[in-house]
Chain A
Amino acid sequence: MASTAAANASVVEEFHKLAIDHLQAAAIALFSDYGKDLQVSESTKEEKRRLSLSLGAAIGFTSEHVRGVLAIAVDERLAKDMNPLSTDDSGAENSKANSTDWIGELANQLLGRLKNKLLANGVELALSTPVVVQGTHLRLGAVHRRATRLLFTDAENQAHVWWDAEVDSDLVISESTEEPQSEGEMVLF
């Protein structure tokens, strides 16, 4: 009995480690695709120079044995810099660019990438649609013990990503041979 419980706890631990590793890689690649070389930071100095987070988005997800929420928060400038519509072809500012809509789409694309990576581990998440919040000095209070906050930085910017997942101990992590279609890839049938 004790060994079964230990094995189940080990699966939960393994899933959290996998998810965080995948999430870090997915976020770095996503930010890079939108022109920002942000890297994972564990520095307390970075914490102390915390920028005012003014835009955030959260998306829920669920599967048979995993459920939770992913959230992202950035300052207005970073959201604008990563928005593909922030400037027009001539480099002039585009008044139609909407940072609030964009942060929701960014969260959607981040969770989509994580979902595609977890498919290789036999975990298939179903995603909700994003909820966007706007304010000053945003903070997210973790509901579960397992909530993890990741900080991505460069010299000027910070992006905060929260991952809060509840995992059943009967989750099975397996290897899937099915390759998901990659980001940017187009297939015509």
Chain B
Amino acid sequence: MANKKVLVVDDSATVRQQVALALSPAGFDVVEAVDGVQGLKLIETTEELRLVICDVNMPHKNGIEMLSEAKADGKNADLPIVMLTTEGQPALIKKAKEAGACGWIVKPFKADRLVAAAQKLTA
């Protein structure tokens, strides 16, 4: 069975590699984007994408903007998008939830919990 594809969007190469190191051994193929612009492009062009893990504060297009555009007009309704960020403010979490996010993780993340969430969301 083919590995499930996960897109990680973060301007930090360290965080992208951390996510890849956590998910790859659990059978996920990780695709990377450095900001919301590239992330949006990869959401539209990556075949059989099963999950997106996305930072909030990024240059060019932030994670909330990317999320809103990815989910606008009912697009990508079945694609789970989880926010992974330093931000924890309730108003921002509510805004992301309303825009279509299915989860919120405050950095630093625990690898085993990220894997468990990825498995649940792509089951």
A181 at the interface (CB under 8 A from B): yes
B40 at the interface (CB under 8 A from A): no
Per-residue CB contact flags for chain A residues 170-189 toward chain B (1 = under 8 Å, else 0) read: 00000000111111111111
Report the bound CA distance from A109 to B107 in whole Å.
7
Residues of B within 8 Å of A, CB-based: how many?
36
Per-residue CB contact flags for chain A residues 91-120 toward chain B (1 = under 8 Å, else 0) read: 000001110011011001101110110010
Interface residues of A in 113-142 (CB under 8 A from B): 113, 115-116, 119, 124, 127-129
Whether the pair A116, B89 counts as a contact (CB closer than 8 A) is yes
- Give the segment of B42-50, B64-72, B109-117 that binds chain A: B109-117
Q: Which of A108, A127, A181 touches B12 (beta carbons < 8 Å)?
A: A108
Give the one of A83, A97, A128, A186 with max B CB within 10 A.
A186
Whether the pair A188, B121 counts as a contact (CB closer than 8 A) is yes
Chain A residues, Cβ within 8 Å of B97: 189
Whether the pair B13, A98 counts as a contact (CB closer than 8 A) is yes
Whether the pair A182, B88 counts as a contact (CB closer than 8 A) is yes
Whether the pair A180, B88 counts as a contact (CB closer than 8 A) is yes
Known: A84-B14, A105-B12, A127-B57. A189 touches B101 (CB 8 A): yes
Known: A108-B57, A112-B87. A101 touches B14 (CB 8 A): yes
Whether the pair A184, B108 counts as a contact (CB closer than 8 A) is yes
Report the bound CA distance from A4 to B59 in whole Å.
41
Whether the pair A184, B110 counts as a contact (CB closer than 8 A) is yes
Known: A84-B18, A101-B13, A105-B14. A186 touches B109 (CB 8 A): yes
B93 at the interface (CB under 8 A from A): yes
Whether the pair A188, B103 counts as a contact (CB closer than 8 A) is yes
Interface residues of B in 14-59 (CB under 8 A from A): 14-15, 17-18, 21, 57-59
Report the bound CA distance from A148 to B50 in whole Å.
46
B77 at the interface (CB under 8 A from A): no
Q: 7 tightest A-B contacts by CB? A: A112-B86, A180-B88, A181-B88, A105-B12, A188-B103, A186-B105, A116-B88
A101-B12, A115-B87 are known; give 14 further A-B pairs, CB within 8 A.
Answer: A85-B17, A104-B12, A105-B12, A112-B106, A113-B86, A116-B87, A127-B57, A178-B90, A180-B89, A181-B93, A186-B104, A188-B120, A189-B97, A189-B104
Can you report 11 A-B residue pairs in the complex whose CB atoms are below 8 A from each other? A105-B14, A105-B15, A108-B57, A183-B88, A183-B106, A184-B106, A186-B114, A187-B93, A188-B102, A188-B103, A189-B102
